[in-house]
Amino acid sequence: MGEPYREQALAWLAQDPDPQTRAELRALLDAGDDDALADRFGSRLEFGTAGLRGALGAGPNRMNRVTVMRAAAGVAHWLGPGRTVVIGYDARHRSADFARDTAAVLTGAGCTALMLPGPLPTPVLVHAVREQGADAGIMVTASHNPPQDNGYKVYIGGTGPHAGSQIAPPVDTEISAAIDTVGPVDELELGTDWTVLDDQVVDHYLDAITDLPLGAERDATVVYTPLHGIGRDTLVKAFEWTGFPPPTVVLEQADPDPDFPTVAFPNPEEPGAMDLVLAAGRRVGADVLLANDPDADRLAVAVPERRRLTGDEVGGLLAEHVLNATSGQDRLVATTIVSAGLLAKIAAAHGVRYAETLTGFKWLIRAGGPGDRGVFAYEEALGYCLGDDNGRPVADKDGISAALAVAGLAAEAKREGRTLCDLADDQARRYGLHATGQVALRVEDRTQITAVMNRLRTEPPRSFGPLAVEVVEDFAAGRNGLPPADALRYRLGGPARARVALRPSGTEPKLKAYLEVVLPVDADIHPVRAAAARHLGDLEHAVKRLFPQD
């Protein structure tokens, strides 16, 4: 049974330039570990709109130098010679190596490769693609995945309205097909004449985002954590450039560390990930607490002694902030099918256009149609993209510019003796309380997720707890003009209006459920929040019963 995999492993050894993965593979071969070989060679990482992402190690089902060089050769083939590509990377294990391999393959294929000057946030790379007039961008990062993972994201360039955005179909399948034509990587021609950009690439990014609507107030005490990622230096400099007091950085998590020693998962959404910044905020009497994920394209927000704000709450606050600072009926705001219904109400109240897309900023950046001018987009997973009347400086989610805008909002609230939580309560009184929550089942075998989704389609639930299913929305064949997606959404009624959306994660082996309860608010919001929490608890219990049980 293991013989075909042994043959593949020997062929891999013959081309692998990396002594680390060669040693790993040789040890597996010498030990006769057929199960480990089957895990590494029985399948491969698939290149999709999120690029590549997976655990480090030898073989086609792992992130390694061979996998990366093949991907780079596929991108080069897809682009053709003479094109320019900007390459960025984070501080994860092997990221710098993968970036250098990418530059070598691209230059060897006749492309011009421009490397960022060091580990920098993804938004800096995204901005540099547009600012350098490049044809594409590549970011080596696994974002908020566990320490053993790494990844590879591709952005399109050019001069169109989506320049600097993540690739979208059919580009992913075109690049994947090009990767399939790549032979052994030791036969690739490698170049050495790529260009390393200087630190001005960061300054140009900061120049662009400091023109965004940040408000006039600056008196906010901020405590910040980069979660061992690469956001610190850029964020601190951004605060300095825009006149905010320097944030207090959580020392235990300040320096880049690919092992992420203080958190179970380096994702600010995960339980416990913000414990250190919450403790630091209480010590210094902060007005607002901010956390980036490791590549700084997401932002989490909390208020000391109050609570964490959800991504939907931050999205609502930033949306109204941007709409109050911009003008024109052609403005468009957008969110995703799993986010709260709050943004649609905000858009209607401001007389602007609203769009709903599939999850991911590759879709959000492309929301709307001719004549629409996108000024704000967000997804509940802590991703925000701000613009102004002159456009969006970064065509992707950006945790640095969002941090500046949130700090400005906190300063405005502080001037009136209030907090961001009070601003969120004001919105709930205007538009109704949109309380949201999530349930996620992490699995080892993705077939469990497929089985659950198939069962839900063949045996649709009639209720979730006490709330009856009134409408079922299945996105498998496309819906409301959206591309097909493996997602279900249920509109519920009864004691409360509610929604439940279900979809497999695109980057991790998880089945995710997104819960929303909508209740009207009179003057006193506290009993309404308590009622919403009870309803969310009922929904969470009902959703967990849909998942495979041990």
Tens-place pLDDT, residues 286-319: 999 999 999 999 999 999 988 999 999 999 999 9
Look at residue 406 in the predicted model and tell me its pLDDT. 98
Whether omega before 170 lies within 30 degrees of 0, making that bond cis, reads yes
Name the helix (H) or strand (E) containing 108: helix 95-108
Contacts of 504 (CB under 8 A, 6+ apart): 446, 449, 450, 453, 486, 510, 511, 512
| Single-letter amino acid code for the residue at 114 | L
What Rg do the C-alpha atoms of the chain give, in angstroms?
23
SS3 content of the chain, % helix, strand, coil (to 5): 40, 20, 40
- pLDDT the model gives residue 109: 98
| Predicted local distance difference test score (pLDDT) of residue 1 | 47
> Beta strand pairing status for 288-292 and 222-225?
parallel
- C-beta pairs of 29-35 under 8 Å, 24+ apart in sequence: 32/2, 34/1, 34/2, 34/5, 34/6
Structure tokens belonging to residue 322: 């941007």
Instruction: Provide the CB-side half-sphere exposure for 174 (13 A, CA).
Output: 13
- Distance (Å, rounded) from C-alpha 188 to C-alpha 70? 9
Strand-strand pairing, 112-115 and 84-89: parallel
Distance of alpha carbon 469 from alpha carbon 492, whole angstroms: 5
CA distance 112 to 106: 7
Query: In DSSP terms, which residues pair with 300 in a beta bridge?
Result: 291
Whether 288 and 302 have beta carbons less than 8 Å apart is answered as yes
Residue pair 427/320 in contact by the 8 Å Cβ criterion: yes
Report, as ranges of residue numbers, the positions in the chain whose pLDDT lies below 70. Answer: 1-2, 507, 547-550
Distance CA 175, CA 158 (A): 17
Q: Is the distance from CB of 261 to CB of 284 less than 8 angstroms?
A: no
Q: Closest Cα partner for 322 from 311, 333, 310?
A: 333
Tell me, letter by letter, the H, E, C secondary structure of 463-481. EECCEEEEEEEECCCCCCC
In order of their start, the domains of the chain are: 40-202 (3.40.120.10), 218-307 (3.40.120.10), 311-428 (3.40.120.10), 432-544 (3.30.310.50)
Give kind and range of the element (H or E) at residue 12: helix 3-15
Of 143, 165, 339, 401, catalytic: 143
- Is-catalytic flag, 327? no
CB 165 within 8 A of CB 365: yes
DSSP E strands in 253-366: the ranges are 288-292, 299-303, 307-309, 331-336, 353-357
